[in-house]
Amino acid sequence: MAIEEDLDILKLDIAGLSKAYVEKQLSPLEVTRCLLDRIEKVNPKVNAFVTLLEEEAIASAVQAEKEIQSGHVKGPLHGIPIGLKDIIYTAGVRTTMGSSIYKDFIPNQDATVVEKLKEAGTILLGKVNTHEFAYGATGDRSYFGATRNPHNLMKVPGGSSSGSAAAVSSGLCYAALGTDTGGSIRHPSSFCGIVGMKPTFGRVSKQGVFPLSQTLDHVGPMTRTIRDNAIVLNALIGYDPKDPYSSKTETEDFTRRLEQGIKGTTIGIPRGYYYENAESEVIERVEEAMRVFQSLGAKIKDVDLPHMKEIAMAHQVTIRSEAYAVHERLVMEQPEEYDEEVRERLLTGKNITAVQYIQAQQTKLQGIEEFNRVLGDVDILLTPTLPLVAPDIIPSGFDESNTSVRWTINRFAGPTNLLGLPSLSIPCGFSSTGLPIGMQLIGRAFDEANVYRFGYAFEQEVSINTLKLFV
């Protein structure tokens, strides 16, 4: 296949690829081989994939091709090559958690989300890197080495879904699943210039996903476009009795409101907390996005969320407590097997008291009430996804100077993990050094379709090409 043909394939989104399959302009086998060739060339630079399933992917592509050509199309994800964050269990395929402890661990069953993606006909290319045990905002701490930002290989990709973002951003797959406990889908999506959705808590089953914090963990899609993201989320949702946190909600089509436009809507801007200590270029890009929304007919309204610092601290108390509870035995018995930074972070939960944890849960309820009040007066909230652009990768070991950076990265994303509200990160521009900057759209619980509507309106109006084909 010529290089020009490869590039044409790589530039397609999921919707375009699915259409090309049905019209027999492309085949799943052709596309899968193209991506496997690209992974061979590009992955040594970005270190996104840690387990490549070449034979299995080819076999799946052959099967998908036969089904599609015979008219048995399962849907828009049929024959679409994807990646999975390496804390999501896959039967017969190692799932490492980015850790030496689990480097050879092979689950005997699929996570529920994997079952759903298989039912949708996707092609699993392999497992992608993660910050060790999904506990880190930078994405550069893994037994398999640091994942690198495709936009600048010396910069962090964001974590913990680092490999997912790097793989999508550099054209190694068309979508990937990530997990989000304090921003771990949205951080790397913002740093790498892609679309990442943390759905409403309970929307997507966590069964078969290695836990970090049971009441904060979410699974969600990471893609190049809004429509693609909604298509993937369509396949993931649904009540799962095997997940005690799963919500009993009806299935729905998250693409249904994309074309409605946003004229006559109101966007809330909580400037106080979400503007504090944010880099000037981040604020500039978000303010520019506001003007785009206004040009599309939306009203911009300043809103007040007076207890954001308390909500953010409650999130930190919760994640530290629950993460330590998951790792207590292992981190005490095999401390040397943990990355130094991750171990240090886990141990911050050791001495949190029951009183502190209960107070945090009370703050959570107050925070939900506060956000619901504000979201009752506006259609959506708009904030920066992150207060900064991607910082440098620290080569190895634990550096105290990086502590402030990692907590800074968590500031704007963590609160909606605590509150369970859907939060979408989409690209809104670049820094002067060419690094992507993202903005965050926050909606009411179970109102993802509306969140996507706003993201789509912006995406269609402002063409921001963040796909890095030449890494």
Task: Check 27, 60, 85, 246 and give the catalytic one.
Answer: 85
Task: Check 60, 184, 247, 425 and give the catalytic one.
Answer: 184
Q: What is the DSSP string of 126-188?
A: EEE--SGGG--SSS---TT----BTTBTTB---SSSHHHHHHHHTTS-SEEEEEESSSTTHHH
Nearest partner of 392 among 142, 140, 160, 128, judged by Cα: 140
Task: Check 18, 99, 142, 160 and give the catalytic one.
Answer: 160
What amino acid is encoded at 328 in this protein? E
CA distance 57 to 63: 10
Q: Helix, strand, or coil here: 424?
A: strand
Active site residue 85: yes
Active site residue 184: yes
Nearest partner of 86 among 99, 77, 102, 97, judged by Cα: 97
Number of helices (H) and strands (E) in the chain: give both, helices first: 16, 11
What amino acid is encoded at 214 in this protein? Q
- In whole angstroms, what separates CA 301 from the centre of its chain? 28
Structure tokens at 74: 């399962």
Decide: 166 and 464 in contact? Cβ < 8 Å.
no
User: Active-site residues: which are they?
Assistant: 85, 160, 184
